[in-house]
Amino acid sequence: MAVINLISSPRNISTALMYSFAQRKDCQVIDEPFYAFYLSQTEIVHPGNDEILHSQSSDWNKVLHQIGEIEKTNEYVFVKNMAHHLIHPDLSCLNNWVNVYLIRDPKRIIRSFSKVISNPTMQDIGIRYQTELFNQYPGTVIDSMELLSDPETGLMKLCDKLDMHYDESMLSWEAGPIKEDGIWAKYWYTSVHSSTGFGPKPTDEVTIPEHLDGLYKKTLPYFNQMKSNQII
């Protein structure tokens, strides 16, 4: 039995990867179990804020216990986490889990954010904190662009690294939600719900507003460090 702990950057394919693992009969997935904890510890307001706080516990230790109970009855537990949710002062649980870091070109993250936030910050982009977590709690690094280039080969490599057999069912799923979706799915998962598998690798040239070039340059040392450790 093992907990596979996905630590993802924002604006990534973390939900698609969760759907992929949800197709396995030997794996139970959990969708962002520390979301309510994160909201309770910050002044950030997200769509469906109150719904999220009422749908799951905001008690860090209680959530850890819930994950432990699920682990007892499943060969694998895939926990989809966002790096910025993991802000508890005691992250020792990461020493006991199999950590997988999902990264994305920060220029694409910045472009995505800039459509809704005119001046995103390093905290919004998340790559610095994700790198800090990796330095303290090492794990497997995968680049979403590389995974989208060849999902089957990428998933094979990931499963091999995780010491689990590859299951071809991971390549596709039925359109629509899954029962494990967080209550926030209606706000964020529209594109995944209309999909039946991993989408094609984006090939468009990425440009960002000129005033965000400085932010992009600040992200590069962190992204390059993570890239140097990727297996996919």
User: Which pLDDT score, from 0 to 100, does residue 44 have?
Assistant: 87
Is pLDDT of 74 > 90?
A: yes
Q: Which domains does the chain have, with CATH numbers?
A: 2-227 (3.40.50.300)
Alpha carbon distance 154, 196 (integer Å):
17
Provide mean pLDDT across the span 134-138.
99
Q: Do residues 27 and 78 lie in contact, with contact meaning Cβ atoms separated by under 8 Å?
A: yes
Tens-digit pLDDT profile for residues 155-211: 999 999 999 999 999 999 999 999 999 999 999 999 999 999 999 999 999 999 999
Residue 18 binned pLDDT confidence (cut-offs 50, 70, 90): very high
3 state DSSP class of 138 = coil
Token digits for 124?
């919004």
Is pLDDT of 117 > 90?
A: no
Token digits for 187?
């706000």
Alpha carbon distance 29, 4 (integer Å):
9
Gyration radius (Cα) of the chain, Å: 17
Residue 15 CB partners (closer than 8 Å, separation 6+): 31, 80, 188, 189, 192
Q: Do residues 167 and 23 lie in contact, with contact meaning Cβ atoms separated by under 8 Å?
A: yes
